Structure 1
Amino acid sequence: MRTVYVNGEYLPETEAKISIFDRGFLMADGVYEVTSVLDGKLIDFEGHAVRLQRSLDELDMQSACSKEELLEIHRELVRINEIDEGLIYLQVTRGSDGDRDFVFPDPVTTKPTIVLFTQSKPGLADNPAAQKGAKIISIEDIRWGRRDIKTVQLLYPSMGKMMAKAAGCDDAWLIEDGYVTEGTSNNAYFVKNGKIVTRPLSNNILHGITRKAVLRLAAEAQMEIEERLFTIDEAKEADEAFTTSASAFVMPVVEIDGVALGDGSPGPIAQRLREIYLDESRKAAI
């Protein structure tokens, strides 16, 4: 049985409770982060902590604890649950001061709700899916406009993954005004003639922590990078493609809407970036 963290307490998962009036439950009024664990250490914790604070600030939501306290909670959950490879899910909601209401509760009298739990995933770094590569479909992007805030409003991304599953594929890329925004839970890239192309940061996409690290490592490896809008048709004509996320790192894409990329196997740049990212992340883990 896992030990989880809820509002200052470490509890068996069967004893963890929050109010039915919590705004995270009623309004999806909450934000989250997912931090990977490799070799019992946290990957990119600082980046996740900074992005969490940004999400809270954008929603005028209070912090539940300091960054130092958050680090200690993460480490304690890794220790208690004996996580060698896996994930730590963190969620902060606005909490509740009583009955359901569209109006935000008074921040002076209402404490945010904070929840963390671990997921053990042996073999996370050596995921066989990365050797096979992902097949994706494209779907319309009908999410709200502030995708840069990592909120718990995940119904449509979840539906997108189910659409992909129904089509015999692994994931979906989202299309808005003719251009790819991102994947359902990852940032999207394609490679053409050795150049990595990805959409620039804005309110339209999540400011991926893994994205930032991978682009930095690609630049250090003297790979050519272009941040611009791109269409799904451009991606279909690419030599290779990939996605990045905290839970899948660098995931090669081998097919888009039934069109095989290159020879239909993971491309060399995606594979090299995954190797570099995992190596450097392990060195910097805390």
Structure 2
Amino acid sequence: MTTDRPASLPPLPCYLNGEFTTLPEAKVSVMDRGFLLGDGVYEVVPVYSGQLFRFDEHMDRLDRSLAELRIPNPMTRPQWRDVALRLVAGHAAIEGDGPQSVYLQITRGVALRDHAMLPGLTPTVFMTVTAAAPATPAQRSAGVACVTAEDFRWRKAHIKAISLLGAVMARQISVDAGAAETIMFRDGFLSEGASSNVWIVKNGAVAGTPRDNLVLEGIRYGLVETLCREAGIPFELRRIGRDEVAAADEVILSSAGKEVLPVTRLDGRPVGKGLPGPIYERLYDGYQQLKPAQPA
């Protein structure tokens, strides 16, 4: 019998089923369907200068995911906002200023184990805030390396589900290779990264994969489209073959944590000229302009 104890959690604020508490004190039932079956959804909302970034877009996606799982949304949008902002302020009081991430999770609730979507359960609601880990200046100036792999995950990728074993296994491929992300292909066409959407640039135009069940529509889908439109950059969503990705002038990742991030090496070979490209620079600059300004 081992006497080793797990690393203790920091006493950061969180919210669980109507009560504000701390991470070490928060407890859920061992019969929660999120714990047993991965039966739930989540969202991650970036926070800049104490303000929730693209909050309504995240709530729209949360509603879509919940509808797919037939789980009722247990809170109104103002309630979600109020809880999030209270946690943001509580986290900043402990950890100080800086970019943050709000993580919220809803499971179907507690019941004896059963694969069916049991009706009438009370959803389990959890939310916490952590310090964000933005890309480093070196990553932005030199770009990052990625590797490719076949997309072996399920065909309901549009649901932001907490059952993330497929994403964990996909990400580990790039971890083992010393790379920043795993860019995946399904039947020869680009799908997405383990935790990112993927964009290519060719001849000054940006292309991404269609909005469908094979990819999670990141909040930056609409944001990248808006940035392109405002900058006069051609933009389209379509099927993108593996050969197009290999021949791209630029490859760009997007996610809540990465914002937009240039890929300069793919499977050990340079992307384009092997440096962050001009379209990335324009998208990144536009992204920064949309973020709330730091109070003086």
TM-score range, shorter chain: over 0.9
Choose from 101, 107, 117 the match for 2:114. Answer: 101
Alignment partner of 2:170: what SS? helix
Alignment of structure 1 residues 35-184 onto 2, 5 Å: 35-82=45-92, 84-97=98-111, 99-107=112-120, 110-121=121-132, 124=134, 128-184=138-194
* Equivalent residue number for residue 271 of structure 1: 281
How much does 1:131 deviate?
A: 2.5
Amino acid at match of 2:141: Q
- 1:102-155 residue CA offsets vs partner (Å, 9 max, x unmatched): 122232xx2101111111137x37654223312111111111111111101211
- Deviation of 1:277 (Å): 1.1
Structure 2 residue matching 1:243: 3-state secondary structure = strand
Deviation at 1:23, TM superposition (A): 0.6
> Given the alignment, which residue of 242, 250, 254 partners 1:244?
254
**What is the CA deviation profile of residues 75-103 of structure 1, one whole-angstrom value per residue up to 9, with x for unaligned ones?**
00001111531211111000113x21112
Q: How many residues align?
A: 279
1:233 shift after superposition = 2.1
Describe the superposition over 1:202-260 as per-residue Cα deviations: whole angstroms up to 9, x where unpaired: 11111111121111111121101121111222111111110111111101111111120
Contact map agreement 1:32 1:150 (CA 8 A) in 2 = yes
Distance 1:183 1:265 in 2: 20
Amino acid at match of 2:110: S
Q: Does 1:25 align with 2:35?
A: yes
Which sections of structure 1, spanning at least 5 residues, go unmatched?
none
**Deviation of the 1:15 alpha carbon:** 0.4
2:16 pairs with 1:6: yes
| TM-score normalized with structure 1 length | 0.93
Alignment check: 8 A CA contact 1:173 1:182 kept: yes
- The one of 253, 257, 260 equivalent to 2:267 is 257
Residues 86 and 174 from structure 1, CA distance in 2 versus in 1: closer, same or farther, beyond 3 angstroms?
Answer: same
